[in-house]
Every structure is written in structure tokens, then in C-alpha cells.
Amino acid sequence: MAGEWVPDALIEQKMGQTKREMMDYIEKNSEKIDSNLPVFFGHVISILENNFPDIPDQVYDRFIDDVTVKVLEESKRSTDVEYIERLFRHATRVKRKYTGRAIFDIVLGLKLIDIGKYKDAIDILMKYRTVDAIVCTAIAFCYYELSALELPPDQRPDKSTTSSMALSAREQMIELARLQPPVNRLRFPQVIQELRVNKIFWFMIKLAIDWFPDQPVYLKIGLEKAKKDQNRDMRGELLKIAAERYYSDMFFLRDLYHFKLEARDAGGATAVVRQMMQQHPDELEPLYYGLQLAIMSSQDSAYQKFRSTAISKKMPAHVILLLDLAFFLISGRRTDAEVMFEDMEKKLPALGYYLEVLDYLMQDIFSEDEKRSKTARKVFMDSIDQYCLKLIKMKED
């Protein structure tokens, strides 16, 4: 029935299936598609309009983007710039928002880098520097490679290289620090990964860290990408540099602490907490992490020590109460936890809704179902962590 309401979830499921079928078709008919792009895009439009007449423009255009890049990925002509431009021209014409060329231009720019046409790549990419950090590093890489062409074949640019191209490479990395565009905003398909996009990014970030040793911003940008990419090796490498250069910076200490926790390195996490307390003796956040570690390891004496210090430093009372509850729960002391919870309901009536959620989690934590208990424990600790840190930062501000 025309105009009949269909839940968004069902539309997304159907679109996902349609996209998979389209990708399979492209894989099997690449040469046929290349030989007649207008017919192919007409086929795509027909599928969308017949099956999804009411989808938003953004969803429609994203489908066109994904299909187009898949065509490029499968094509034997993917290094032919003239072909790429023709493919993107057809794709742009069939999109609802005709101005949506950004992803195509960026892909073209990166392709040009891959085949060594650095000046052409710069011309295309320059206007997209604020779209994604990867674009700034790609432009800087182009200048770096152009500066290398001015040197003898066995020599690479270094800090002493002062050619205009070498200086332009540094200027683009300075622009990255100034603009601070989003990290991983662009979703690159496999064909772009093959263009060494990430390798270029890390190459230029490492150069910038070396060029500008007093600027922590490059480490911060790198850490953000490493975390989003789940690249623990690179994250560890950057944190090692940060620990040497910025040993008192809470941004890096905080990230290093969580890095150690994720690796289940209790000793390393404890050492970071000590360093935090040495560098920031009047702040509550290091004490909170000490309490958190004591809870996780169920160390009564350590918890009591950090708790006493937290009280003397005037940590908010309801934070300490929540942490006390967490300590009893994680230690498996059910009776103490239940008594503690009843006391909190009386002392913190304003937290009624939140405490109700915690009560459900408590029941699951003491469930005989090990998987259910483990899941509830994690949810409980994550919730407490977010809530308490927010209160502590408000107190410190």
C-alpha cells in the first residue's frame, strides 16, 4: 500500500541486503560496468526508487557513494585518472545533493598520490583540509615527497632541509594543529586503505612529533586515531613518547592509566597513579583511580588508605558512598553491599532513579549465571566510573 508506514529498522535491514547484492553484482560484472557507466547508474537509481522511494537524501547519497567506490575498487582501470574522473562525474550527477563531491575528490586526490602526481593531488585536496585529519597529512606528505625530488637520490628531507617544499610540508602539519579536523570522520573502503592512507598519516605524524618536540597536539591527534583504529602498538609507542616529554600532563597520564588497565597490567596502572599523585597532589582524580584499582583488586588496606586520603581532600560524599558500594560488590560481600545500599537510599533520595538501576545490576552480579554476573559487573563499574568522574571534575572545576 502506498504511503504505508514501515519501521526504520526494517528499511535499514532491507537496504543492507540490497547493498550486499549490489556489491556482489559489481564484483562479478566489473568489466561490463566499466564499458557502460550510464546504464549501470541508471540501474542503481531504478533499484533505489522502486524499493526505497521515501529514504532521506543523505541515505540515498551514501548508497551511491558506497556503490561508486566499490566500482572503483573492482575496476582494472583504477589507476586511470581519466576513468576515475568520469566515474565520479556520473556518480555526482545521480546524487540528490549534487554538491556531494567531497568523498570522490578526496579518493581521487589519494589516488593521485599513489601514482606520484603530488602537485595535482595538492590542488584537489587543499579545500578539504577541515574534513578529516587524514587530508592534512596527505597534503603534507605531497610536499614532503616533492621536497625529496629536490635532493640527491640517496638523501631524504630532514630538519635541516629548508627548500620551499620542505617548509610547506611543515606548514601543513602546523595547519593540522591549528585546524584540528575530525579524526576518522571519513569511512574509507578497502581500495583506499591500499593507497597507504594510514601509513601516510602515521609517517607524517611521526615527522611532526620530531619537527615540533614541544607541541603535544600531534601526540594527541595520533592517540585519538590509534584508539579509534584499535591500534594498540601505535598507541603504546605514542604514550611512551608522551611519558618522557610530558610526564606531568594529566591528559597523557590518564590515557596511559587506561592503557595499562586494558592490558590487565595492575602494576603498571599503580605506577601511573603514583606518578599522577606526585605531579598533582591536590587533585581528586588520581585518588579516584587509586580507589578504582583497590576495588578491582579487592585490596582492603589499599582501599582504606585511599579512602581516608579522599575524605581529607574533600571528595564528594556521595562519590565515596558509591565507591564503598562498589568495593563490597566486587569483593563478593553481598550482605555488606545490601546494608550499604539501604543506607544510600536513605541518604541520597535524589539519586532514586539511578539507585534503582544499580539495584537491578546488584541482583545480576550475585547471580549464579557466571556470564550474567560478569556482564553486570562490567556495566556496574562502567556506570560508576562515568558518574563519579563527572562529579569529581565538576568539583575540581
* Local confidence pLDDT in tens for the 397 residues of the chain: 445 555 667 777 888 889 999 999 999 999 999 999 999 999 999 999 988 888 888 888 889 988 998 998 889 988 888 898 899 999 989 988 755 678 888 888 988 998 899 999 999 999 999 999 999 999 999 999 999 887 776 667 766 667 889 899 999 999 999 999 999 888 765 555 555 788 999 999 999 999 999 999 999 999 999 999 999 999 999 999 999 999 999 999 999 999 999 999 999 999 999 999 999 999 999 999 999 999 999 999 999 999 999 999 999 999 999 999 999 999 999 999 999 999 999 998 888 889 999 999 999 999 889 999 999 999 999 999 999 999 888 766 6
Going 75 to 77 to 83 to 88, the CA torsion angle's sign is positive
**Rounded to an integer, what distance in angstroms lies between the CA atom of residue 269 and that of residue 275?**
10
**Rounded to an integer, what distance in angstroms lies between the CA atom of residue 127 and that of residue 116?**
20
Neighbour tally for 101: CB within 10 Å: 16
Q: How many whole angstroms from its chain centre is CA 29?
A: 35
Contact 59, 14 (CB under 8 A): no
pLDDT of residue 190: 55
- Using alpha carbons, select from 147, 135, 146, 145 the residue that is nearest to residue 173: 135
List phi, psi (to 5°) of 348: -125, 60
Which grid coordinates belong to 198? 594510514
pLDDT of residue 133: 95
pTM: 0.83
DSSP code string of 200-219: HHHHHHHHHHHH-TT-THHH
Question: Grid cell 630538519 — which residue?
Answer: 159
First to last CA, the chain: 58
**Rounded to an integer, what distance in angstroms lies between the CA atom of residue 210 and that of residue 157?**
13
Q: What radius of gyration do the chain's Cα atoms show?
A: 27
pLDDT of residue 54: 81
Question: Grid cell 590542488 — which residue?
Answer: 123
Which grid coordinates belong to 303? 582501599
Q: What is the largest CA-CA distance in the chain?
A: 78
pLDDT of residue 1: 42
- Using alpha carbons, select from 114, 90, 96, 73 the residue that is nearest to residue 200: 114
**Rounded to an integer, what distance in angstroms lies between the CA atom of residue 356 and that of residue 372?**
18
pLDDT of residue 52: 86
